[in-house]
Structures are given as C-alpha cells and as structure tokens.
Structure 1
Amino acid sequence: MYSRALLCLFAASLSAPVLADTVWMKNGDRLTGKIKVFDGGKLLLQTPYGGNIALDWKQIKTLESDQELLVKQDAETGEKAKSLKPAESGKVILANGEAPKTVELASIEQIMKPRPLVEDFMWKGNVDLALDYKRAEKNTDDYDIDFKTTARHGRWRHTAEGEYNRETKDDVTTTNNWSAEYALDRFLTEKWFWQGRLEYKRDMIEDLARQRTVGTGPGYQFWDNELGAFSLGTLINRTDYEYSDGGKDNFYSAAVKWDYNRYLIGKKVEFFTNGELGKPIGSVADYSLDAEMGLRYKVTDWASLNLKAEKDLIRGTRDSDLDKTRYTAGFGVAW
C-alpha cells in the first residue's frame, strides 16, 4: 500500500509542470527557460535544451517570469518587479501586488536579477593561459598564466589574484617573474567599503627584484550585477623595494585602484580593465602604474578566448626606470 502511494506521488511529480520563464516571439514561436539578463538589444534565455540563447529584443512579442527582476527604462533608475506577466504585443506587465504596470518593450533598456547587499555566499573567478612556441631563426618560448577569484559572503569580500610570466629566446631567459595579491573588503554600506591588501612581486631578471606592498583605504562600488562591476579605491601603501645587488628602499605612497568589467552582446563578450596608479610620498620614485586591459569571448559557458595588454611602469627608481608592456592572446576558463 505504501509502495503504491509512493509510486503515485512520484508519477504525479513527473507530470507536474516545471516552472519556467516564457518568451513569445513575433513569428509565433514560444520559448521556455530562465531569463538571465537583457542588455544591448539581446535577451539571454537559459534553456535545458539549447544552453544560453540570445534573442533579438525587437522580435519578442511579450514575456512572462516568476522571478523578481530589476527592469530599467533609463540608465539611472530601475523598478523591481515581483514578476512579469504577458500583455498585448510589444508590451509586458510589471506585477507588484495591487499596482501592476504595463510598459512598452521598446522603452526597456535593461533587465537583470537584483543583487542584495547581503548574500550567503558567492564565488566567481577565471584562469587565463597564453602560450607561444616559435621555431625559426630564433627559437622563442613564451608562457603567461594568470588567475583572479572573488568570494563574497555577507558584508565581506575576498579577492585573490596572481600571475606568472616567462619568456626564453634561444635558451636564454629574457623574462621570468611572478606576482600575487590578496585583498579583503568590508562593506560599510551598500556601496562604500574599506579595503586591506597585500601584494608581492618577484622578478628574476630585472634590477628591481622584489616588491612588497601593504595598503589600506576606502573604496566605492558603483555597481555589481549580471552585466559586470565597477569599483574605485584609494589606498595608503607601504612599499619595500629590494634590488638584485642587495640594495633596499622603502616608502609610503598614495594610490588609486580600479576594477571594471562589462559583458556585451548577450554576455558573449567581456571587456575588462583593472590596475593601480600610485604616487610615492618622498623621492624614491616619481610614480608607478600597474594595469591591464582586455577582452574575453565566451566559446562555452565556462571556456573563453582572450586578448590582453599589460603595462608595468615605475619612474624614478634608484638605477633605472622599469617599463614593461606585454600583449597576450590565449584561452581560459571561468566560473
């Protein structure tokens, strides 16, 4: 008897409809899945049968969703809708209890999942790899590996990143360096945070062999959502230089740090840039710049191709200036 009851319950669960968002197209097609984001004229619909599908917004008749979504009709303001309900062609209903609102699809600029201030746990990151082997009149081997990962729980955010570069020409090593950085942010409000960070750089070729930096200061998170993130921070740093001949320098500096990324074309392409511009307090160096900028193209949900430019510049050091520019192309994974 109990077995029969369990069997009936299992059969009923299989026959019960699975809740999903629905998009009606102007050509009569009806697609179901989960709305991820709308931006740049493309609605990204996650489906179990076709992965992420980018739909042309102009070809959508109406749509429906049981998710809470942030609907933006201009660049500055947005309205949280408890759900979306279908309406006549070219329109959608923003359902908020007793005050539903019908809007034109053409007036909507963005749709995304709102991100609350406090979340139990969020983890994301990427690893990029670039390799170049050239066998010609001069043999060249070039490696570049870097990673960045961020974990957020409640008002705390942890960021760790690192990079390794090595280049040889005819068995002579011309570049060999690595770096690692850890930053801890404590959010004081939804936007303002206080950061503490540690950074270490090691170069086996250049005269400036080691750099150690400890810094702290306030920052501001302009946005952090499905379409990307942008933050600025100001830091007071203590930096120690160690040269290849054993000489040492140390100084304090004021720095501005930025971290920006933006997804485009239905989250297929990501533009990113991050870095730090510092001005020493004293005469050890004139200024320093450590920055990168690039693009990632998503081949699958987890794999991507990437192009990146990096700049490492220090003016006014003890013996000579450090000025490195590096361009790489490779592949990576993200989560």
Structure 2
Amino acid sequence: MFSRSLLCLALTLAATSAVADTVWLKNGDRLTGKIKFYDGGKLVLATDYGGAIALSWDKIATLESDQELLIKENAVVGERAKSLRPAEPGKVTLVNGDAPKTIELASIQQMLKPKPLIEDFVWKGNIDAGLDYKRAESDTDDYDVSMKTKARHGLWRHNGEADYAREFQNDVVTTDNWGAEYALDRFLTEHWFWQGRMEYKRDRIEEVRRQRTVGSGPGYQFWDNELGAFSVAGLLNRTDYEYDTGERDNFYAVSMKWDYNRYLIGKSVELFSDGEVGKPLNNVAEYTLDAALGLRYKLTDWASLNMKAEKDLVSGSQGELDETRYSLGFGIGW
C-alpha cells in the first residue's frame, strides 16, 4: 500500500511538471511556471513561488511549453505553435503538426496567447477614480474620474483617454469639465510611428468653454515592455476655442506629446506622466500645457491606490485658463 501511494505521488508530480513551462537560462538555472507573454525584450513567467517574473530575453538559453502560442518574428506575421520544445542554446523548436521548426530566439519579436479574432491583439489600460469630502468652514466635494487605454495589433496601436472632474465648494460648482481623446499610431519601424489624433474638451466654468483639436505627426517609442513604456510625438495641430462670451478662435500650433510609465519596487509602484505642451503659430496664445504626474500602488494584480496632479494651462489668450487638480483614489487596471 505504501509503495502504491509513493507511485501515485510520483505520477502526480510528473504530471504537474509536464504541464508547467520551463525556461533554461544561460547561467545554468532552470525556472518553471507559466509563460504569459514575451514583448519588448522581457519574457513574463508566472510562478507560484515568486509571482510574475520578468526575464531578460538575452539571458535565456532555450525554453519549453505545452501551451499554444503565437510566435511573431516580425511586426505583421505570426505563426501558431501548438507547443515549444527545447533546442540547442539560443534556439527553440516550434511544434506544429508533423513539421517541427527550430528558430533562433533572437529572431522572435513577440510571443503571446493567440486571441480568437485578432491573434496578436494586446489590450491594456486603467481607470482611476478619486473622491474627496471636506467638512469645515468651507465644505468641499471633489470628484475625479479618468480612463486611459491602449490596444495594439500588428503595426497599429489605438490610444484612448477620457476624464471627468467636478468640484463643489459650499454647494457652489467651482469645477465642471470633461474631455476625451483618440489617437491612432501606425508603426513605420520598431520605434518610429506616425500618429493622427482627435481631442475634445468641455468646461462649464472657465473662460475657455470648448476646445477641439485635430493633429498629426511623427512619434518615437523609446521602449515598451513589462517594466514600462516611454514615447514622444511631435504634432501639427488645428485647434478651435470657444469662449464663455460666445466668441471663437482657431489656429494652428506645433506641440510635443509624451507618455511615460515605469514600474518600481518589484512592480508594486508605478510612476506615470503624460501630457502635451504646444506653441500656437499666431498670437491667439503664448503656449498651452496639459499634463499629469502621479503614482499608483498596486494592491492586487488589478486593483491600485493612486495619487495624481494635473495641470491645464492656456497662457496669453483672450480667455486664459490656469487650473491645477490633485486627486487621491482607487483604480483598476488590466
């Protein structure tokens, strides 16, 4: 009976190890877990002993997986592999029917679970909500909600943002605005892309009541991996202003946009900043600034606490705008 129990245990352990993915490193170490994806020079391996581990691709000798994975050797075309088998250092074998194929690890640009419709579809984003209630000589109620998301497939990337802010002081509305933006990026190389974007802002309190912007221009992606991303874009914009007096202005401007995030302290803290600074090509305004800077502390894989400072500035125009908001709240991410 004892020997039979040992046999059952051995079979169970063997079956468990068989379904686990394995990564062999160049220094001789071997790690087991589940391959989540590879992108931007980092392979993410989910383990039950250390959580999600980001491994540098150039430190990996070979790997093994029984998952079906989409292996992309360029930005457009990918090959489904029913499983991966280890090969000589620096290579891996794709098992797909009766014709296994061994390729160089260095040739792989992306590895992920294939999606049902668009196989290489990658979607990520977050929603942050902040509420602040103050009861004193001056009662203040402050609401702030923002959403940011990105979706990429092949050479295309979709970027969407939306935010809403409302503040009361002694039951008087002192802040009431919302905005939305959509941008489409077409990658020309691994780093260079061309962006087209549309933006709309509505403010019921400030002198500048409406802003509409359409722009286009080149951008550069410095990095985009498991630990963060950083990109900039230079745009030529057409902007329309509508003031509280009913008057309108329109002008062309050049601007620079940035989008930065970086995970710190074992991916438990995220530093992020995004915004745009612009210079009109006529005398409507001296310059414009719309920027945000903040921190997120991850409570779980999807929940976080966040604090953020936002600045919205239009200097030198008929209806100047200078608004700063601070928020502390809860967010979800995916």
Indicate conservation of the 8 Å contact 2:183/2:196, yes or no. Answer: yes
Deviations 1:199-239 (A, max 9, x none): 00000001110000000011111111111111110000000
For 2:243, the aligned partner's letter is Y
- The count of residues paired between Structure 1 and Structure 2 equals 273
Please report how far the alpha carbon of residue 33 of structure 1 lies from its aligned counterpart in structure 2 after TM superposition: 2.1
Equivalent position of 1:6 in the other structure: none
Paired with 2:244 and 2:263, the residues of 1 have a C-alpha distance of 42
Please report how far the alpha carbon of residue 240 of structure 1 lies from its aligned counterpart in structure 2 after TM superposition: 0.3
**For structure 1, which runs of at least 5 residues remain unmatched after alignment?**
1-10, 25-29, 38-42, 56-61, 69-81, 86-92, 98-112
**Aligned residues: CA RMSD:** 3.5
For 1:262, the aligned partner's letter is R
Equivalent position of 1:177 in the other structure: 177
Please report how far the alpha carbon of residue 46 of structure 1 lies from its aligned counterpart in structure 2 after TM superposition: 2.2
Paired with 1:64 and 1:238, the residues of 2 have a C-alpha distance of 51
Deviations 1:63-111 (A, max 9, x none): 985379xxxxxxxxxxxxx9999xxxxxxx96447xxxxxxxxxxxxxx
Identity level (%): 60
Paired with 1:129 and 1:151, the residues of 2 have a C-alpha distance of 22
Paired with 1:189 and 1:119, the residues of 2 have a C-alpha distance of 21
Partner-residue secondary structure (3-state), 1:235? strand
For 2:214, the aligned partner's letter is V
2:64 is aligned with 1:66: yes
Change over 3 Å in CA distance of 1:288–1:84 after alignment to 2: farther
Equivalent position of 1:324 in the other structure: 323
Equivalent position of 2:51 in the other structure: 52
Equivalent position of 2:332 in the other structure: 333
Pairing 1:236-255 to 2, within 5 Å after superposition? 236-255=236-255
Equivalent position of 2:193 in the other structure: 193
Change over 3 Å in CA distance of 1:162–1:51 after alignment to 2: farther
Partner-residue secondary structure (3-state), 1:136? coil
Equivalent position of 1:258 in the other structure: 258
With normalisation by structure 1, the TM-score equals: 0.72
Paired with 2:192 and 2:89, the residues of 1 have a C-alpha distance of 31
Equivalent position of 1:76 in the other structure: none
Partner-residue secondary structure (3-state), 2:245? coil
Change over 3 Å in CA distance of 1:120–1:20 after alignment to 2: closer
Indicate conservation of the 8 Å contact 1:158/1:184, yes or no. Answer: yes
Pairing 1:7-26 to 2, within 5 Å after superposition? 15=15, 17-21=18-22
Paired with 1:250 and 1:186, the residues of 2 have a C-alpha distance of 28
**For structure 2, which runs of at least 5 residues remain unmatched after alignment?**
1-10, 38-42, 55-59, 70-83, 93-107, 112-117
Indicate conservation of the 8 Å contact 1:119/1:152, yes or no. Answer: no
Partner-residue secondary structure (3-state), 1:193? strand
Equivalent position of 1:159 in the other structure: 159
Paired with 2:225 and 2:293, the residues of 1 have a C-alpha distance of 20
Equivalent position of 2:224 in the other structure: 224
Equivalent position of 2:6 in the other structure: none
Indicate conservation of the 8 Å contact 1:64/1:84, yes or no. Answer: yes
Indicate conservation of the 8 Å contact 1:130/1:143, yes or no. Answer: yes
Paired with 1:119 and 1:280, the residues of 2 have a C-alpha distance of 42
For 2:316, the aligned partner's letter is G
Paired with 1:298 and 1:46, the residues of 2 have a C-alpha distance of 17
Equivalent position of 1:104 in the other structure: none
Please report how far the alpha carbon of residue 137 of structure 1 lies from its aligned counterpart in structure 2 after TM superposition: 2.5
Please report how far the alpha carbon of residue 267 of structure 1 lies from its aligned counterpart in structure 2 after TM superposition: 1.4
Change over 3 Å in CA distance of 1:189–1:95 after alignment to 2: closer
Partner-residue secondary structure (3-state), 2:267? coil
Indicate conservation of the 8 Å contact 2:61/2:90, yes or no. Answer: no
Paired with 2:85 and 2:222, the residues of 1 have a C-alpha distance of 26
Change over 3 Å in CA distance of 1:314–1:271 after alignment to 2: same
For 1:66, the aligned partner's letter is E
For 2:324, the aligned partner's letter is T
Paired with 2:225 and 2:278, the residues of 1 have a C-alpha distance of 28
Indicate conservation of the 8 Å contact 1:288/1:314, yes or no. Answer: yes
Paired with 2:124 and 2:160, the residues of 1 have a C-alpha distance of 11
For 1:233, the aligned partner's letter is A
Indicate conservation of the 8 Å contact 1:44/1:266, yes or no. Answer: no
Please report how far the alpha carbon of residue 52 of structure 1 lies from its aligned counterpart in structure 2 after TM superposition: 2.0
Paired with 1:120 and 1:36, the residues of 2 have a C-alpha distance of 13
Indicate conservation of the 8 Å contact 2:129/2:329, yes or no. Answer: yes
With normalisation by structure 2, the TM-score equals: 0.72
Change over 3 Å in CA distance of 1:291–1:115 after alignment to 2: farther
Deviations 1:12-68 (A, max 9, x none): 9x94621234799xxxxx97424779xxxxx98623x5682679xxxxxx9985379
Pairing 1:118-137 to 2, within 5 Å after superposition? 120-137=120-137
Equivalent position of 2:297 in the other structure: 297
Paired with 1:33 and 1:63, the residues of 2 have a C-alpha distance of 16
Paired with 1:172 and 1:318, the residues of 2 have a C-alpha distance of 25
